[in-house]
Structure 1
Amino acid sequence: MVVPVDYSLYLVTDSSLVPENATFLGQIEKALEGGVTLVQLREKDLDTGPFIDLAYKVQALTRQFNVPLIINDRIDVALAVNADGVHIGQDDMPMRRARQILGHDKIIGVSCNTIAEAQQAIADGADYLGIGAVWDTSTKKLKKKTLGIQGVKDLLAAIPPIPNVVIGGIKLNNGKELLENTQGVHGLSIVSGIMAAPDAKQACQDLLSMIRHYVPGPSKEQDIVKYAIKATARVKSGSPLVHHMTNTVVINDNANATLAVGASPIMSTNTEEVDDIAAINGAMVVNMGTLSQSMSEAMSTAMESNTKLGNPVIFDPVGAAATEYRRVMTQKYLDVGHLTVLKGNTGEILYIAQRGGQSRGVDTVGGTGGEANAAAAVKETAQKYGIIVAMTGEIDYVSDGERVFAIDNGDALLASITGSGCMVSSIVGCFTAVNRENYLYATIAGILIVTVASEKAASRPDVHGPGTFRSALIDELYNITNEPSILATYAKVREVKL
């Protein structure tokens, strides 16, 4: 299944158009900074080796901005660099054959100039259409007539709704005219208007601002799921080290879950080696489930060492309200721990937020007090401490102090195994370790992969209760990591307005 894509502003590259005072990669980077939502690398005159080298360099930029990279025509190059997809013309490899080679996880677009070509591309399984040329263009020698605005309208009216971009001679003004007078266009594909621009970033900002008046961008929820898919792949490829100081009940499961998503766990409570580990660490997970005086001191040292090096610190305040000692230590870590993410269960977060919260030992007792109370708890706590706050339960709530998102995934069997919440903290550690540009989305992604895995595990015929579910959960974490596009089918994320 293809990752959800925003086709709004689609850059097609052309190295011959780059201004003298700019570079090819520099123009692409500025375009990404300006809001380009998709990049197609089109370099017709490059041999295979240089094309692959260039594709890797462009891909390094697009991945920084979480933007898909499409390769024009060259399926071999797309495969070599594991690009997000290819774009093929009418004279290139047949669409069906391209799909057989690339599979269904890659994006395939097809250029169409006629209704018949568009209908055939849809029948063959294209993910999107490149419709044009709309007007004459200097970037490509045209073999077919230009469509004009009326031609685009006629073509779109004759086919089922499908993602599409229009291309050919499009600039800011005529693009505005086209979108004003056409229904069903999903984006504009621009070449010279970006690649030849003296200020590519400003050009893209102007284009995208105009496009957004007529073409709605993806919802925040779609954007989060798209991010989660990419973030999952990034954990596996990056294989970050995640240092745990966690409770003795869950050490084995947390380590196995960390391995299942492609990260590397280290479960050390030795104060003497904290600095050495922090120097190579991706994230620090602190869990006070089996808290002691020596453990408390080690946790404080670990938080300080990792904070100095810029590593994210995830704190799981297990049993925060259960005893006076835990209450004191929870407040200490909140005040001086320099936390990145606070992840607790319903009772723990509601207690910290002073919005109720009951526990029996380390387990939650009672509900959330309603969604408004739960959402307010995570938002207010995030604002107060300047961190990401996640509250797990029947519904999970996550906030950065401005926005609140609810995750409706998860199977009831999660509550039947020890340490499932602690496992979530471990996975959030894995995701924040290598997705540092957006800790809110990375936290949601970490929770999503566990909750979706729980649903898939519970539905397996070999699962008959908590024992078999526990093993299946690790399996499904591994399976989703190897096919993260599954999240697009299962994820249930929504924004909560207060």
Structure 2
Amino acid sequence: MPYHKCIDYSLYLVTDSTLVPEGTTLLGQVEKALQGGVTIVQLREKEMDTGDFIALALQLKTLTQQYKVPLIINDRIDVALAIDADGVHIGQDDMPLATARRILGHGKIIGVSVNNTDETKAAVDGGADYLGIGAVWFTSTKALKKQPLGVEGVTRILASMKDRRIPSVAIGGINLENAEGLLMGSFIEDDIEGYPQRRRLDGLAVVSAIIASPDPRITCDQFTSILAATNKALNIANRPTVDHVLDHVEIAVQRIRDQTPMVHHITNNVVINDNANATLAVGASPIMSQNRVELEELAAVNGAMVLNMGTLNDIDTMVLAAQANGRHGNPVVLDPVGGGATTFRKQVVQRFLSEAPLTIIKGNGGEILSMANRGGRSRGVDSLGGVDEENAKAAVEALALQHKCIVAMTGPVDYVSDGRRTYAIDNGDPMLVNITGSGCMVTSIVACFAAANRSDYLLATVSAILMVNIASEVAMARGDVRGPGTFRSALIDELYQTSLSPNVLRDKARLRLL
């Protein structure tokens, strides 16, 4: 499974300028569709010359940026590079996925068209960010080389992914009359390794029903209503409630103990021992290696990768480790320790953002605010000053959207976001700031949860931070804790105890959905 990119694929518009009604323009139709709720746009123009394609793509990019919606270019990687699009979509006869990833890097979205389970497995294993499943039905917009899948075929492909599921949209002949039946008919509810799994399409990719519509805004409103109604009917929340998260926490904790994932750390030399012990306490297995000779071999068996900037001894090895884990579909967690403290560290942060496939960024207030260009003060690796909630929420949401990952800001109140869903965590004892590397320990636990809970990295991150914070409160309530030294040991003990009795998390959680 590839690293997580936080994209809303629910209403995916694919353009076709030949379908634009007389008296309208493609850009006008797209803008009305964006007003109606389109969440992602793919520019598909098979017959357009390169210069005209780039000119149109630049105009469309200005429009999609205005509505904060990703722009994907169909097939033409050269055009995507020329305009710095958010990503590309490739078919089975286009450039190979591995080549496209090598050219575009890990910061861009790459979608792949699939029509059967073999193509699905190859795309998932190859690191696609999402799948375009189809064609579902016959369509006038594209000559089909294969028989349409129908709802049964879409369901078969969704079922084939099992626990390696990635976001998927259906495409081909989808309209207002058949959308609900497709969404309801392809829903899957089963068990994977003893855990209940509920899977459905992440979105509908629509061409003619929107582009050829007399009023795309109204049409998209109707599609959005269908998506919302099916979510409600299937008991799928667009913004999971606090109760939903807390139901998830206990399962998430148990998965770590059941799977014992290996978490590879390249981390601060000061905190290696504590991070290793914390990882063991929650049921995962730590390895602390900075030898680039074994990176690829470790990535093949890792559950997650931690990059901690506390001591930057070999930045090249850190980047290579992240890339190796990205190739193997492992979540990569960055802790930008002191990221805003010096010019050098700011430059290193930018390098990780551009070269490493990041799943989660976890930092303190000074680090995250600095990365988001919203203030933030540091002294060395320590954050200085308070953070007001409005600024914190804006920072984590903006960074999550910009870098297509989960962002967590820790402090007196912790904030976690994927750009669309944002939670505030009010748990945590003040004694945490009195021990070295408590934030680094949080990063290790986040990686443990991400390794074992890959279906939703946002909920995995929230669960991890809740666990550390509540363990700190329970530790400080013990009679044998008298200060930072005894607290450090007690914290490891309570992480272990909480992993064995995770019901305490629901009882003590102070969690808010913002």
Partners of 1:445 and 1:489 lie apart in 2 by 13
CA distance in 2, matches of 1:442, 1:248: 26
Name the counterpart of 2:278: 257
Q: What CA distance in whole angstroms lies between the structure 2 residues aligned with 1:492 and 1:291?
A: 35
The aligned counterpart of 2:441 is 423
Q: 1:237 to 1:62 in 2, by over 3 A?
A: closer
Corresponding letter in the other structure for 1:260:
A
Q: Please state whether the residue corresponding to 2:270 is helix, strand or coil.
A: coil
State the partner residue of 1:306. Answer: 325
Match of 2:196 in 1: 63
Cα–Cα, structure 1 residues 462 and 270, in superposed 2: closer, same or farther, change >3 Å? same
Q: Taking structure 1 as reference, are residues 360 and 62 closer, same or farther at Cα in structure 2, changes over 3 Å only?
A: closer
**Please, which of 213, 236, 243 is the counterpart of residue 222 of structure 1?**
243
CA, structure 1 residues 211+338, in 2 after alignment: closer, same or farther (shift >3 Å)? closer
CA distance in 1, matches of 2:345, 2:233: 54
Given the two structures, how large is their TM-score scaled by the length of structure 1?
0.58
1:271 is matched with 292
Match of 2:256 in 1: 235
Give the Cα–Cα distance (whole angstroms) in 2 for the partners of residues 58 and 222 of structure 1: 21
1:340 and 2:359 matched: yes
Aligned pairs for 1:356-367 (under 5 A) are: 356-367=375-386
Q: How far has the Cα of 1:211 moved from its partner?
A: 9.3
CA distance in 2, matches of 1:237, 1:278: 20
| Equivalent of 1:248 in 253, 269, 272 | 269
- C-alpha separation between the residues in 1 aligned to 2:449 and 2:435? 23
Deviation at 1:315, TM superposition (A): 0.3
- State the partner residue of 1:374: 392
Corresponding position: 1:392 with 2:410: yes
Q: 1:296 Cα deviation (Å)? A: 0.7
Secondary structure (helix, strand or coil) at the match of 2:269 reads: coil
| Corresponding residue for residue 495 of structure 2 | 477
Say if 1:355 and 1:464 are closer, same or farther in 2 by CA, change over 3 A.
same
Counterparts in 2 of 1:223 and 1:417: CA distance versus 1, 3 Å: same
**CA displacement at 1:372 relative to structure 2:** 0.2
Q: Give the SS at the match of 2:423.
A: strand
Change (3 A) 1:356 1:207: closer
Work out the CA distance in 1 between the residues paired with 2:234 and 2:262.
Answer: 42
Match runs of 1:102-141 below 5 Å: none
Q: Against the structure 1 CA distance between its residues 322 and 211, is the aligned structure 2 distance closer, same or farther, given a 3 Å change threshold? A: closer
Report the CA distance shift for 1:450/1:34 in structure 2 as closer, same or farther (over 3 A).
farther
Residues 1:280 and 2:301 are matched in the alignment: yes
Equivalent of residue 487 in structure 1, options 497, 502, 505: 505
| Cα deviation code 1:281-311 (max 9, x no counterpart) | 000000010112xx21110110110111111
Deviation at 1:321, TM superposition (A): 1.3
Partners of 1:231 and 1:452 lie apart in 2 by 15
Whole-angstrom CA distance in 2 between matches of 1:315 and 1:479 = 27
* C-alpha contact (below 8 Å) 2:266/2:290 kept by paired residues: yes
Mapped partners of 2:192, 2:487: distance in 1: 39
Are 1:318 and 2:451 counterparts? Answer: no
| Shift, 1:324, TM fit | 1.5
Aligned AA (1:448): L
Mapped to 2, the partners of 1:328 and 1:211 lie a distance apart of 46
Q: Distance in 1 between matches of 2:407 and 2:367?
A: 11
**Aligned-residue offset at 1:447:** 0.7
- Runs of 4+ with >4 A deviation: 205-212, 216-219
Q: Show the counterpart of 2:470.
A: 452
* Alpha-carbon separation, structure 2, partners of 1:209 and 1:465: 49
Cα distance in 2 for partners of 1:358, 1:217 equals 35
Q: C-alpha separation between the residues in 2 aligned to 1:211 and 1:274?
A: 42
Residues in 2 aligned to 1:217 and 1:367: alpha-carbon distance in whole angstroms: 31
Q: Partner residue of 1:104?
A: none
Structure 1 distance, partners of 2:230, 2:382, is: 52
Deviation at 1:64, TM superposition (A): 2.8
Q: 1:322 to 1:276 in 2, by over 3 A?
A: same
* Cα distance in structure 2, aligned partners of 1:375 and 1:208: 26
Cα RMSD for the two superposed structures: 3.3
Find the residue that maps to 1:372 and give its secondary structure: helix
Which amino acid is the alignment partner of residue 308 of structure 2?
N
Structure 1 residues 443 and 219, CA gap change in structure 2 (3 angstroms): closer
Distance between the aligned counterparts of 1:312 and 1:231, measured in 2?
15
CA contact (8 A) 2:191 2:197 kept: no
Where structure 2 has 5 or more consecutive residues not aligned to the other structure, the ranges are 1-151, 161-182, 200-227
What one-letter code is carried by the residue in structure 2 that aligns with 1:311? N
| Counterpart Cα distance in 2 of 1:230 and 1:270 | 34
Deviation string 1:430-453 (CA, Å, 9 cap, x unpaired) is 000011110100011111110010
Distance of 2:230 and 2:339 partners within structure 1 = 50
Matches of 2:299 and 2:352, distance apart in 1: 18
* Residue 226 to residue 378, structure 1, CA distance change in 2 (3 Å): same
2:335/2:363 contact within 8 Å kept: yes
Deviation of 1:217 (Å) = 12
Structure 1 CA distance for aligned equivalents of residues 305 and 238 of structure 2: 35
